[in-house]
Structure 1
Amino acid sequence: MAVSSVAEKTQSDLAHLIHPLYHPSDHQKPRIWVEGHGAILKDMDGTEVIDGLSGLWNVNVGHGRRELAEAAMDQMSTLAYCSSYTGASNLPVIELAERLSQFTYPSINSFYFTSGGAESTESSVKTARFYWKVQGKPDKVKIISRKLGYHGLTMAAMSATGMPEYWQMFGPLVPNFVHIESPYPYRFEGGDENTSPGIAAANLLEEAILREGPDTVAAFIAEPVQGAGGVIAPQDDYFPRIREICSQYDVLLISDEVITGFGRTGTWFGLEHWDVEPDIMQFAKGITSGYIERV
């Protein structure tokens, strides 16, 4: 395509579009995507590149799947939207929830659908607090998460996210969020001759629960593999110990599978690698592979 066309679209982009995670220097070498097929993206200049990040860790089945576009068209032509308030439902959502229940963790068999990963974090936090209020423990409201963990950038999700560079211009954060170190050997060198690094990192959760008071902690939220924080895979003994601690102190374990869900790590969901079941699981991205926006 003509260079002038790329320049015109770039100027229009600059004038009217607000980008996430953006610096003005990004427009010095603009790239506007126009096509995608399988693992390949093509820009307005006709240059093809491998989409090594799979969109934003979400296009699990590849670009350009015509059968998915046709399925969406068929459904939208039949029924594009209906509310699920006050017990109303529809056939596709019933069938999807039933299908999910057949291959998620045995502890997970009911589903609340959201519009994306950050909203899923918000909903997980609300669900955890709601659960403890129903159980007669209304003071259990605190959420523990990890440094270098990423859970989205809406307000509660950003407060759970353990990367201060995302907070600086948007504070103050939502109260009652606590951060502990990640099982990341480069940043945390815990462990000794009697305790492995994975167990030492997991024990930081127990220390935080005891410091805050078990009767005030609602949940611990964690990605099975930390994505935006550096693709940090935990030691094999980390999550089994985390599960023990959560069960011991009546703290719900929330598995943030927004990135790791739906086959990203070689199993359907990330905690399966360690035979650990969460109390709450949240997901987005791979469930639609980006064909219906849920990032």
Structure 2
Amino acid sequence: MSKSAEAWMPLYVGDYLGDTQRLTTEQHGAYILLILDYWRNGPAPDDDGVLQSITKLDRAAWKRNRPALERLFRVVDGHWTHKRIEREIENAKTNQDRRSSKAQKAAQARWGNSSGDAKGKAPSMPQALHDQCAPPSPSPSPIGDSSEADASGAEAPKADPPEAKPIDLKAAIFASGVPLLVDGGATPSAARSMLGKWRRDYGDGAVLDALAAAQAEAASAPIAWITRTLEARNDRSPRSRNIFDRPSAWAPRPGMAGAEPASLDD
């Protein structure tokens, strides 16, 4: 299973409790560990040493609890198989493929890619910044090769180098951020809306840093990951900001006590 699909596992509480009513507390812990290992690594071999290692039970405890746990699995071809977990793994793979296909189509619509590789074509943060920079100016030709040198050998006037193009941070954020969020399951419209909200609440610099970090970590849920990162770096959520962070809301108006009288020239 891919990294993004194995990052979370569905657990239906009612179904779980219905199947495990007669397990002891120790057996519940061992069963959960077996399920988690199954989700990441597939069916475990029918080997007491391996199963004991997975459940973290000592030899005597594993020998005592094995019969109760084995009833929840089926031993097929020397492995402990589980019909429900196999079905959930297939569902997770199907959902991941569907989200990936949706992200690819969104990226193709946004960027005109036809390769079908949305994630591979999404620009990284350095690429997005590089695209906003002006290309280097060409070096002037030597005087002896210049066709514009006059008959006396005087150097022809040189054109002024092109003005450096400032980096458009907003364009870099959207160029790299929209494909990243779309690949995580957001629609292009929702991705642009979220990027705009982050820019408003935290500023372009912080958002650029968070996007680059999310790309480096290959975050499977980038919106939640970036939101937590921005809140942690700013030491608070935008919703928790103090009202005194916005002094303009408390600025006295003309006519209020403490306000300066309006100018007669206005």
Q: Which has the higher contact order (CA 8 A, sep 6+)?
A: 1
Which has more helix, going by share of residues?
2
Highest Rg: 1 or 2? 2
Asked if TM exceeds 0.5, the reply is no
Higher strand share: 1
- TM-score band, normalised by the shorter chain? under 0.3
Q: TM-score, normalised by structure 1?
A: 0.22
